[in-house]
């Protein structure tokens, strides 16, 4: 059925609702009643001028009667029908009749379909967040381990009558220890979820939008590498992930700097130099005569290609807040809240302008080694007696095969198992002490 059929049906429905007789309407717009009858039964299409006159006579916004205006609604309804999972499928062949006869209900169905899609996206995002949150994932692992032990031990005690007394005593002791550990773990989780909610929604969200957009591109913005003249605003407009105004503002700032970096260190020559000199920020900064932080950012923006380092990058401001996070496997970055004070990033923050390179070992069930380069640089002052604004940058390179002594670091105290750490600011929830 052609989509234009809708227009006639709508004209008829609207006219009847307004209590207008066909003859009257025909006279008002200057056509014969029989011609109007053909139009109303979708056998003729009115021209643009007549459609406008009909719209005016029926007090419908100009264009609302026209074919194109209804398309988004029809599309939304078709999508809803396709996504629908009802026993009786939607009558797709009568979709225009539906829209024509029940415009309000049709709008409602379409609006609910859009709302459903938006909610599904939110749920997906939240569940994704749960899966990738290092704190949650470590805490849940701990709780599950304890539960496994409790379940298995309790089943032994419940199902066998002939356990030797010393074994029985041992299993009881294990149950006791595990249940204490469970209690502590569950309490810590509840506390975490209580406080996490507000922080997550307000502070971290725009940064996460930008990070999600960058992650989808491996943190390599090809459009800016190819053509330094491409307008930043157009790039942002093309990114549906950057939905909120704060996220778009963050993206604008990030992309302007990215473009300046790419102009100073064009991908071709920079890649060639990295292949020749290795990922050595000092040597690269000397070769190109550019500031160190720029080299660190550039190294973290290399495309994922054979022979090029795949590095993580974190940036923080003078308060220690992480303002940019590019993760690298094995070096978990906290999603919010402060990171490990032993990170070379913070060591650099305390000694502005002094470049620091450190081998570190990330705490965890599977400790990993990394080579980090960190430096803190002030933003150029804009006036006298302005507050000093600094930014620290740290590049994180995987160094699995490196056996040289490495400094112990963690992600964040709450999920760090290291005992006796002089920099610890709160107890770990990993409950190693049980």
Partner 1 sequence: MSKHALLIEDEPNIIEAIRFILSRDGWRVSTHDTGADAAEVIARTDPDIVILDVMLPGRSGYEILDELRADAATRDLPVLMLTAKGQERDRRLAERAGASRFMTKPFSNSEVLAAMREMVGP
Report if residue 126 touches partner 1, rule: CB under 8 A.
Answer: no
Q: Measuring CA to CA, which residue among 309, 287, 288 is closest to residue 372?
A: 309
Contact (CB, 8 A) for 376 and 352: yes
Q: Using the rule CB under 8 A, give the single segment among 61-69, 141-149, 250-258, 389-397 that binds partner 1.
A: 141-149
Pairing of strands 356-362, 407-409: parallel
Least separation, in Å, of the C-beta of 122 and partner 1? 19
Q: Considering only residues 219 through 248, tell me which ones interact with partner 1, judged by CB under 8 A.
A: none
Long-range contacts of 388-392 (CB under 8 A, 24+ apart): 388/318, 389/317, 389/318, 390/317, 390/318, 390/349, 390/352, 391/293, 391/315, 391/316, 391/317, 391/323, 392/315, 392/316, 392/345, 392/346, 392/348, 392/349
> How many residues line the site for partner 1 (CB under 8 A)?
26
Q: Does 128 bind partner 1 (CB under 8 A)?
A: no
5, 20, 90, 156: which one contacts partner 1 (CB under 8 A)?
A: 156
When asked if residue 28 is in the footprint of partner 1 (CB under 8 A), the reply is no
Binding residue for partner 1 (CB under 8 A) from 152, 187, 202, 351? Answer: 152
Site for partner 1 in 159-188 (CB under 8 A): 159-160, 167, 170-171, 174, 177-178
Per CB under 8 A, contacts with partner 1 among 361-420 are 365-367
Using rule CB under 8 A, residue 153 touches partner 1: yes
CA distance 150 to 146: 6
User: Residue 176 and residue 184: Cα distance in Å, rounded?
Assistant: 13
Question: Minimum CB separation from partner 1 for residue 152, in Å?
Answer: 4
State which residue, 4 or 153, has the beta carbon closest to partner 1.
153
Binding region for partner 1 (CB under 8 A) out of 65-73, 153-161, 254-262, 271-279 = 153-161
Compute the distance between CA of residue 178 and CA of residue 176 in angstroms, rounded to an integer: 6
Q: Which of 50, 64, 81, 150 binds partner 1 (CB under 8 A)?
A: 150
Cβ 392 vs Cβ 349: under 8 Å: yes
> What angle (nearest 5°) sits at the alpha carbon of residue 333, between those of residues 329 and 334?
150
Interface residue list for partner 1 (CB under 8 A): 131, 137, 140-141, 144-145, 147-153, 155-156, 159-160, 167, 170-171, 174, 177-178, 365-367
């Amino acid at each position: 059925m052609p989509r234009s059929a809708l227009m006639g049906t709508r004209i008829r429905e609207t006219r009847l609702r307004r209590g207008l007789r066909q003859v009257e309407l025909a006279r008002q717009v200057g056509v014969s009643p029989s011609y109007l009858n053909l139009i109303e039964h979708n056998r003729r299409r009115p021209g643009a001028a007549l459609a406008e006159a009909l719209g005016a006579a029926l007090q419908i916004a100009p264009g609302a009667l026209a074919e194109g205006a209804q398309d988004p609604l029809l599309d939304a309804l078709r999508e809803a029908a396709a996504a629908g999972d009802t026993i009786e499928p939607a009558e797709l062949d009568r979709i225009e009749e539906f829209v024509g006869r029940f415009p309000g209900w049709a709008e409602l169905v379409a609006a609910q379909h859009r709302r459903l899609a938006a909610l599904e996206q939110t749920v997906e995002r939240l569940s994704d967040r749960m899966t990738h949150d290092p704190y949650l994932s470590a805490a849940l692992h701990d709780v599950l381990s304890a539960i496994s032990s409790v379940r298995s031990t309790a089943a032994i005690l419940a199902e066998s009558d002939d356990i030797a007394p010393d074994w029985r005593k041992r299993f009881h002791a294990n149950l006791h220890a595990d249940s204490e550990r469970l209690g502590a773990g569950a309490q810590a989780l509840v506390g975490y979820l209580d406080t996490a909610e507000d922080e997550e929604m307000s502070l971290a969200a725009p940064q996460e939008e930008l990070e999600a957009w960058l992650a989808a591109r491996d943190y390599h913005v090809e459009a800016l590498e190819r053509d330094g003249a491409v307008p930043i605003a157009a790039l942002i407009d093309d990114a549906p992930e950057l939905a909120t105004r704060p996220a778009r503002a963050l993206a604008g700032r990030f992309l302007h700097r990215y473009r300046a970096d790419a102009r100073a260190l064009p991908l071709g020559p920079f890649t060639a130099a990295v292949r020749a000199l290795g990922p050595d920020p000092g040597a690269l900064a000397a070769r190109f005569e550019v500031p160190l932080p720029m080299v660190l950012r550039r190294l973290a923006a290399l495309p994922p290609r054979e022979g090029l380092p795949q590095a993580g990058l974190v940036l923080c401001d003078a308060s220690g807040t992480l303002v940019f996070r590019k993760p690298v496997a094995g070096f978990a970055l906290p999603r919010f809240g402060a990171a490990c004070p032993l990170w070379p990033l913070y060591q650099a923050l305390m000694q502005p302008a002094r470049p620091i390179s450190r081998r570190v070992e990330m705490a965890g069930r599977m400790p990993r080694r990394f080579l980090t380069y960190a430096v803190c640089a002030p933003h150029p002052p804009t006036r006298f007696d302005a507050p000093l604004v600094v930014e620290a940058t740290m590049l994180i390179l995987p160094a699995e095969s490196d056996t040289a002594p490495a400094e112990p670091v963690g992600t964040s105290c709450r999920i760090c198992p290291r005992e006796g750490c002089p920099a610890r600011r709160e107890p770990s929830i990993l409950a190693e002490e049980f």
